[in-house]
Amino acid sequence: MTLPVTFRPPSDVPRPGPAVPAFAAAPVALVASVVAGLLAVTADGYGYHRDELYFRFLGFHPGWGYVDQPPGTPLLARAAVEVFGDSVWGLRVPAVLAAVAVAVLLALVAREAGAGRFGQSVAACGAAGTFVLLLGHVLLTASVDMVIWLAVLLFALRALLRAEPRWWLAAGVAVGVGLWFKLLIVLLLAVLVAAVLVAGPRSALRSPWLWAGALAALLIGLPNLVYQVANGFPQLAMADALRANKGAEARVLLAPFQFVVVGLPLVPVVVAGLVALLRRPALRPVRALALGYGLLLVVLFALAAQPYYTVGLVLALYAIGARVVEGWATGAARRAVLAAALALNTIGAVAFALPVFPLSVQERIGVAEVNQGTRDQIGWPAYTRQVADVYAALPPPDAARAVIVTGNYGEHGAIHRYGPALGLPVDRLYSGQNELHRIAAPGEGGTVVVLVGLGEDGSVMRTWFASCETVARLDHGLDIANEEQGRPITVCRQPRQPWSVLWQRFQHYD
């Protein structure tokens, strides 16, 4: 007589996870289309952001890395200019696509947490929240970085919740791509590894697939890592400068910022995601995400790092919270409350993040006072025209040997973009900020210097030059304060030292 034998797999063989709901393709596509439409119709509402002007310029000077960032965003900006045209709208196409990708990724993260069609739709609506619209409107390093973080977290959820460790390889590839855009992804990995060591599952750290993913990340991101090593880790110096210049403000804003990443009306959804990770048995394999978020806040406060570094992880918490909301919103009344919250959040996010108001209205309502992204898009053509007027007023012999030195990369990028049409010699345009200091320096023939945004302290300038005269002040003609407004345009003559020595004094990181 043969006894039945029950096969039991060894304990170290991953068991399949619960069935994953179908992807809600139609409603998610609808949300993504609305987000894309909002961003497309407002893309060129005000003008270039200062960082976009910088990326545009760096894109014409490609390298394996820069002192303040990896090469990915400048290369993406250059590709956008080549494909879509040298315009504000064309440069921002990649940012719009990033926001669309966020809508899809949020729905996919919610799906991994067990959300069905309704929950995935709610999750996708997070792409119409405050900071996704901000980062979808303007091409910044964080625009791609939020996509990378969500992709890495999605693949980690699939590896752990589905018990399919091969997804660690996909996570590693995403990390490697992320290293081309921002080194911040390393911070996510660090806090998540620490959280897994505390909360588990520690066995995931022994997976060959995870180590294969780590190797893939290293190989893909190697060029920029080699650049950092070969150049003495310039981004560490950059981080120190940011901490010195903005660290105190960053610590003050860290906690309040967490409430506006998605938007105030949807904060309960984020909280629901945190609680679900800690309490729901089905999410036990990924509860380290909740601890990792707490660790990330502690690290950012200790390092006085920028508060927006949490965006990717907060978005993932929101998507997981959408699964909870799906179970809560079972009746018509609750669904009406949720719909109102989503609508209110979208309206508020659009009003805050996108250029839906004329600048004359912005003067009155004061949104720009609390939104630096808006302030940094205002005035660049006007400022360049003022510099052109100063240059045109120089005597011909002075103009022939004049160089233009700007205080920051926004002024430099604006002159590089708009200056040629106004007769400005952009081949004699320089700045001491960040990578621009390394790219080019004035030649010894530059004995007349038009300083833009510099020269406020005349006593310092007079120790560098035989004479200096402030001849104008930057003015965009609006009652909206920004970093440039009111700064001087100064004409200096006869450097007291060779430019090879003097140029070092213009260097600054911020």
Domain assignment present for 373: no
Domain match, 153 and 275 both: yes
Q: Identify the pLDDT of residue 495.
A: 93
In SS3 terms, 196-248 reads as HHHHCCHHHHHCHHHHHHHHHHHHHHHHHHHHHHHCCCHHHHHHHHHHHHHHH
- Which tens digit of pLDDT belongs to each residue from 249-307? 889 999 999 999 999 999 999 999 999 999 999 999 999 999 999 999 999 999 888 89
The set of residues, in sequence order, having a beta carbon less than 8 Å from that of 71 and lying 6+ positions away, is: 62, 63, 64, 65, 180, 224
Domain match, 333 and 430 both: no
Domain assignment present for 181: yes
Q: Identify the pLDDT of residue 9.
A: 41
Q: Identify the pLDDT of residue 367.
A: 83
**How distant, in Å, are the alpha carbons of 429, 454, 488 from that of 472?**
18, 12, 6
- DSSP letter (8 states) at residue 86: S
- Which tens digit of pLDDT belongs to each residue from 306-336? 899 999 999 999 999 999 999 999 999 999 9
Is the predicted pLDDT of residue 340 greater than 60, yes or no?
Answer: yes
Query: How far apart are the two ends of the chain, measured CA to CA in Å?
Result: 81
Domain assignment present for 275: yes
Q: Identify the pLDDT of residue 5.
A: 43
Domain assignment present for 282: yes
Domain match, 311 and 406 both: no
End residue of a domain, out of 330, 359, 388 = 359
**Total number of domains in the chain:** 2
Q: What is the pLDDT averaged over residues 379-396?
A: 96
- Which tens digit of pLDDT belongs to each residue from 363-383? 888 888 888 889 999 999 999
Q: Which domain holds residue 391?
A: 380-506
**How distant, in Å, are the alpha carbons of 41, 53, 103, 467 from that of 378?**
18, 12, 29, 32
End residue of a domain, out of 359, 388, 415 = 359
Q: Identify the pLDDT of residue 245.
A: 80
Domain assignment present for 18: no
**In whole angstroms, what is the distance from residue 375 CA to residue 372 CA?**
5
Domain match, 310 and 416 both: no
| CA-CA-CA-CA dihedral for 241, 224, 80, 316, to nearest 10 | -80
Q: Identify the pLDDT of residue 237.
A: 82
Q: What is the pLDDT averaged over residues 478-503?
A: 92
Q: Are 386 and 396 in contact (CB under 8 A)?
A: no
Domain match, 390 and 276 both: no
Q: Are 406 and 507 in contact (CB under 8 A)?
A: no
Domain match, 211 and 255 both: yes
Tokens standing for residue 108: 């996919």
Q: What is the pLDDT averaged over residues 340-367?
A: 92
> Which residue matches tokens 């693949």?
155
Domain match, 352 and 384 both: no
Element holding 465 (H helix, E strand): strand 465-473
Domain match, 311 and 190 both: yes
Tokens standing for residue 318: 């929101």
Domain match, 427 and 294 both: no
Domain match, 34 and 142 both: yes
* CB burial of residue 234 (10 Å; 0-12, 13-18, 19+): buried
Q: Could you give the angle at the alpha carbon of 506 between the alpha carbons of 505 and 510, nearest 5°?
A: 120
Tokens standing for residue 426: 């952009």
Largest CA distance in the chain: 111
Is the bond preceding residue 71 a cis peptide, omega within 30 degrees?
no
* CB burial of residue 229 (10 Å; 0-12, 13-18, 19+): exposed
Domain assignment present for 7: no
Domain assignment present for 20: no
Q: Rounded mean pLDDT of the chain?
A: 92
The identity of residue 349, as a single letter, is A
Alpha helices for 304-366 (secondary structure H): 311-328, 332-353, 359-365
DSSP assignments along 145-177, one per residue: HHHHHHHHHHHHHHHHHTT-TTHHHHHHHHHHH
Is the predicted pLDDT of residue 128 greater than 50, yes or no?
Answer: yes
Q: Could you give the angle at the alpha carbon of 354 between the alpha carbons of 351 and 359, nearest 5°?
A: 85
Domain match, 69 and 197 both: yes
**Radius of gyration over every alpha carbon of the chain, rounded to an integer in angstroms:** 26
- The model's confidence at residue 459, banded by pLDDT at 50, 70 and 90, is low
Q: Are 207 and 168 in contact (CB under 8 A)?
A: yes
Q: Identify the pLDDT of residue 456.
A: 73
End residue of a domain, out of 359, 392, 414 = 359
Tokens standing for residue 71: 């090469």
DSSP, collapsed to helix, strand or coil, labels residue 377 as coil
Q: Identify the pLDDT of residue 212.
A: 96
- Return left, alpha or beta for 494; rule: phi > 0 is left, psi -120 to 50 is alpha, else beta: left
If one counts every other C-beta atom within 10 angstroms of the C-beta of residue 350, the result is 17
- Which tens digit of pLDDT belongs to each residue from 176-235? 999 999 999 999 999 999 999 999 899 999 999 999 999 999 999 999 889 988 888 888
Domain match, 398 and 339 both: no
Domain assignment present for 372: no
